[in-house]
């Protein structure tokens, strides 16, 4: 098969790839120099839409509506944008072998791609229950959500099992957003997770109590402290019931599993330095191999603000790290320098009529402020995290754009506080004064 050569190759066609492509165009990439190779059949899109408006019965999002970079208020890069810029968008092409010393990628169909500079943007894959050998986990309608094909299967199942029953396994981001999306579709939803409260990696028990109460009011049944240990199926292979460790059995027409992800780095095992489960990168997203960069979910990078090395699986970082890597590549070629990446962690989620944002680090003591009762009419409340006498993290539900900006500033500036009771009383007023 013919070999194709490019000056730059982005491996992966997700969020980072799309934002990198826009930055390449801004930096003046020449026609024929850049290729994006993606397993997916569609041009880069804003992945978070898949667990939100993609599943809504009304106001449904469909491509081309949410191609990058609309998620951050930018230009929408339609599939034709790429050839217009002379960028090769090579879709439905899975790379199965990467040889970094010879700068070669090989696809499942046997094509060879050569590059001078590579950006690894392969993102994450979902952890499957069948990976742990959970009995019956390969039954039909046990679904996962990572890519648009997965979302289409879910949309199909929602249509087919109208007014049916769904069990959501997992109480993290995906679990919370999908429970809401299915409920809005009039599906009877139960959520199951082993932890004492939902989203324990970020939420305090106080924050979680609001969401659990709110979801219960919306008719979502929450079952905590247990896990799915097996599934029963109908004769046609479709899932029928979920068996829980505590002995309960839940009827289910659809099961959606959201138990976490894993960065996709196996292609590069042994060829590049790893750290904390990802590919080790510097503040310019350069890896240990010359001319190889890693961005988005796969990159473990220096988080300057906390003097720590971390991996961040969130869309804001995917966008910004991609832009930083491309800027660094061009700066290097032009003998210029740019500032090191200085990222303020930012996560968000939307479900039902709720919307929260979080900035900074969720470590140390916490104070809750505002009205966090699930019955509250405004449901405007939040939390600060305080470490070594400084506010290092801030969470806000139902904030206005100005209020969200204010909590972002708090997390960046890290103002000192000496009285936590005062801080709780002041709440958002504290942030608006910074
Ligand atoms: C359903 C869902 C909802 C989310 N919601 C939010 C949210 O609300 N807020 C938030 O902050 N974050 C959210 N995230 C996380 C966010 O989407 C990711 O952090 C972000 O997409 C990471 O970007 P990336 O470019 O690193 O990877 P991805 O966007 O996953 O892109 C990776 C791409 O690489 C391709 N690929 C992988 N391996 C190969 C290969 N061998 N050959 C060819 N192509 C390959 C994949 O097919 C994919 O196109 C959500 C994620 C999901 C799945």
Mutual angle of helices 173-184 and 205-217, in 10-degree steps: 20
Q: Per the domain annotation, does 105 fall within a domain?
A: yes
Position in ligand 1 atom list of the atom nearest CA 267: 41
Q: Per the domain annotation, does 281 fall within a domain?
A: yes
Sequence-distant (6+) residues with CB within 8 A of 17 are: 10, 36, 38, 44, 119, 121, 322
Total structural domains within the chain: 3
Mutual angle of helices 15-26 and 315-333, in 10-degree steps: 30
* Same-domain status, 147 and 234: yes
Sequence-distant (6+) residues with CB within 8 A of 138 are: 130
Position in ligand 1 atom list of the atom nearest CA 147: 53
Q: Can you tell me the mean pLDDT for 1-7?
A: 89
Cα–Cα distance for residue pair 290/336, rounded to 1 Å: 17
| CATH code: domain of residue 363 | 3.30.390.30
* Same-domain status, 381 and 234: no
Instruction: Kindly give the distance from the C-alpha atom of residue 46 to the centroid of ligand 1, in angstroms, as a whole number.
Output: 9
DSSP string across 52-64: TGGG-SSS---TT
* Same-domain status, 245 and 286: no
* Same-domain status, 71 and 25: yes
Cα–Cα distance for residue pair 243/251, rounded to 1 Å: 9
Q: Of 259, 278, 295, which residue is a domain's last?
A: 259
Strand boundaries in 91-206, DSSP class E: 95-99, 104-107, 112-120, 124-126, 142-143, 165-169, 188-193
Take atom 4 of ligand 1 and give the residue whose Cα is closest.
48
Pocket test for ligand 1, best of 15, 177, 261 (most atoms within 8 A of CB): 15
pLDDT level of residue 7 (50, 70, 90 thresholds): very high
Take atom 48 of ligand 1 and give the residue whose Cα is closest.
14
Q: Per the domain annotation, does 188 fall within a domain?
A: yes
* Same-domain status, 282 and 370: no
Take atom 53 of ligand 1 and give the residue whose Cα is closest.
146
* Same-domain status, 117 and 134: no
Full 3-state SS string of 354-423:
EEEEEEECCCCEEEEEECCCCCCCCCCEEEEEEECCEEEEEEEECCCHHHHHHHHHHHHHCCECCCHHHH
Residue 176 near ligand 1, beta carbon < 6 Å = no
Sequence-distant (6+) residues with CB within 8 A of 139 are: 231, 232, 233, 237, 238, 239, 240, 255
Instruction: Kindly give the distance from the C-alpha atom of residue 341 to the centroid of ligand 1, in angstroms, as a whole number.
Output: 20
| CATH code: domain of residue 254 | 3.50.50.60
Report the chain's C-alpha Rg in angstroms.
23
Instruction: Kindly give the distance from the C-alpha atom of residue 317 to the centroid of ligand 1, in angstroms, as a whole number.
Output: 11
Question: Checking DSSP bridges between strand 390-397 and strand 381-387, what pairing results, if any?
Answer: antiparallel
Is residue 393 within 8 A of residue 358, CB to CB? The reply is yes
Q: Of 216, 235, 259, which residue is a domain's last?
A: 259
* Same-domain status, 250 and 272: no
Position in ligand 1 atom list of the atom nearest CA 96: 41
Q: Per the domain annotation, does 345 fall within a domain?
A: no
Summarised one tens digit per residue, pLDDT across range 292-328 is: 999 999 999 999 999 999 999 999 999 999 999 999 9
Residue 20 near ligand 1, beta carbon < 6 Å = no
Summarised one tens digit per residue, pLDDT across range 333-374 is: 999 999 999 999 999 999 999 999 999 999 999 999 999 999
> Residue 317 sits in which domain range?
3-125+262-333
Q: Of 333, 364, 386, which residue is a domain's last?
A: 333
Summarised one tens digit per residue, pLDDT across range 137-175 is: 999 999 999 999 999 999 999 999 999 999 999 999 999
Residue 264 confidence (pLDDT) above 90? yes
Sequence-distant (6+) residues with CB within 8 A of 169 are: 129, 175, 192, 193, 227, 228, 242, 255, 256, 257, 258, 259
* Same-domain status, 51 and 111: yes
Cα–Cα distance for residue pair 221/347, rounded to 1 Å: 26
Residue 130 confidence (pLDDT) above 80? yes
Q: Please give the pLDDT value at position 208.
A: 98
Q: Per the domain annotation, does 189 fall within a domain?
A: yes
* Same-domain status, 266 and 120: yes
Q: Please give the pLDDT value at position 194.
A: 97
Summarised one tens digit per residue, pLDDT across range 411-432 is: 999 999 999 999 999 999 999 9
Summarised one tens digit per residue, pLDDT across range 241-260 is: 999 999 999 999 999 999 99
Cis peptide before 64 (omega within 30 of 0): yes
Residue 122 near ligand 1, beta carbon < 6 Å = yes
As a whole number of Å, the end-to-end CA separation of the chain is: 61
Residue 151 near ligand 1, beta carbon < 6 Å = no
| Enclosing H/E stretch for 254 | strand 254-257
User: Which residues share a beta bridge with 34?
Assistant: 8
Q: Please give the pLDDT value at position 1.
A: 65
Position in ligand 1 atom list of the atom nearest CA 347: 11
Residue 2 confidence (pLDDT) above 90? no
Cis peptide before 392 (omega within 30 of 0): no
Instruction: Kindly give the distance from the C-alpha atom of residue 133 to the centroid of ligand 1, in angstroms, as a whole number.
Output: 25
* Same-domain status, 170 and 107: no
Q: Percentage of residues in the chain with pLDDT exceeding 90?
A: 98
Position in ligand 1 atom list of the atom nearest CA 125: 30
Q: Per the domain annotation, does 376 fall within a domain?
A: yes
* Same-domain status, 302 and 252: no
Count of residues making up the chain: 434
Average pLDDT of the chain?
97
Residue 376 confidence (pLDDT) above 70? yes
* Same-domain status, 96 and 139: no
Pocket test for ligand 1, best of 115, 123, 313 (most atoms within 8 A of CB): 123
Residue 221 confidence (pLDDT) above 70? yes
Q: Per the domain annotation, does 38 fall within a domain?
A: yes
Strand boundaries in 296-345, DSSP class E: 299-303, 308-311
**Residue 20 — φ and ψ, nearest 5°?**
-65, -40
Instruction: Kindly give the distance from the C-alpha atom of residue 365 to the centroid of ligand 1, in angstroms, as a whole number.
Output: 32
Q: Per the domain annotation, does 344 fall within a domain?
A: no
Pocket test for ligand 1, best of 93, 285, 296, 315 (most atoms within 8 A of CB): 315
């Amino acid at each position: 098969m013919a070999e194709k050569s490019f000056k730059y190759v982005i491996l992966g066609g997700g969020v980072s790839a799309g934002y990198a492509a826009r930055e390449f165009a801004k930096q003046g990439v020449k026609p024929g120099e850049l290729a994006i190779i993606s397993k997916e059949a569609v041009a880069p899109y804003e992945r978070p839409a898949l667990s939100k408006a993609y599943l809504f019965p009304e106001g449904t999002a469909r491509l081309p509506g949410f191609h990058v970079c609309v998620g951050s208020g930018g230009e929408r890069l339609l599939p034709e944008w790429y050839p217009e810029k002379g960028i090769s968008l090579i879709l439905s092409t899975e790379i199965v072998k990467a040889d970094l010393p010879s700068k070669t990628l090989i696809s499942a169909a046997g094509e060879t791609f050569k590059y001078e500079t590579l950006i690894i943007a392969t993102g994450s894959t979902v952890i499957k229950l069948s990976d742990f050998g959970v009995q019956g986990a390969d039954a039909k309608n046990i679904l996962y959500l990572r890519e648009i094909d997965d979302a289409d299967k879910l949309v199909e199942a929602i249509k087919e099992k109208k007014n049916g029953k769904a069990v959501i396994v997992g109480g993290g981001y995906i679990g919370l957003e999908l429970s809401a999306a299915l409920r809005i579709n009039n599906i009877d939803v139960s959520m199951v997770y082993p932890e004492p409260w939902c989203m324990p990696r970020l939420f305090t028990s106080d924050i979680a109590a609001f969401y659990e109460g709110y979801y219960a009011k919306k008719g979502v049944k929450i079952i905590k402290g247990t896990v799915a240990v097996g599934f029963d199926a109908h004769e046609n292979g479709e899932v029928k019931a979920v068996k829980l460790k505590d002995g309960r059995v839940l009827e289910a027409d659809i099961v959606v599993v959201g138990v976490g992800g894993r960065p996709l780095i196996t292609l590069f095992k042994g060829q590049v330095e790893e750290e904390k489960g990802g590919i080790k990168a510097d503040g310019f997203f350069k890896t240990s191999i010359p001319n190889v960069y890693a961005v988005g979910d796969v990159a473990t990078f220096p988080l300057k603000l906390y003097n720590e090395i971390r991996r961040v699986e969130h869309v804001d970082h995917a966008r910004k790290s991609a832009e930083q890597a491309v800027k660094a590549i061009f700066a290097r070629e032009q003998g210029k320098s740019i500032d090191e990446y200085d990222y303020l962690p930012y996560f968000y989620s939307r479900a039902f009529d709720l919307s929260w944002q979080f900035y900074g680090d969720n470590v140390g003591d916490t104070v809750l402020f505002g009205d966090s009762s699930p019955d509250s009419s405004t449901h405007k409340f939040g939390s600060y995290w305080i470490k070594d006498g400084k506010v290092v993290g801030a969470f806000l539900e139902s904030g206005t754009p100005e209020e969200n900006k204010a909590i972002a500033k708090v997390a960046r500036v890290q103002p000192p506080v000496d009285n936590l009771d005062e801080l709780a009383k002041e709440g958002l007023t504290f942030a608006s004064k910074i």
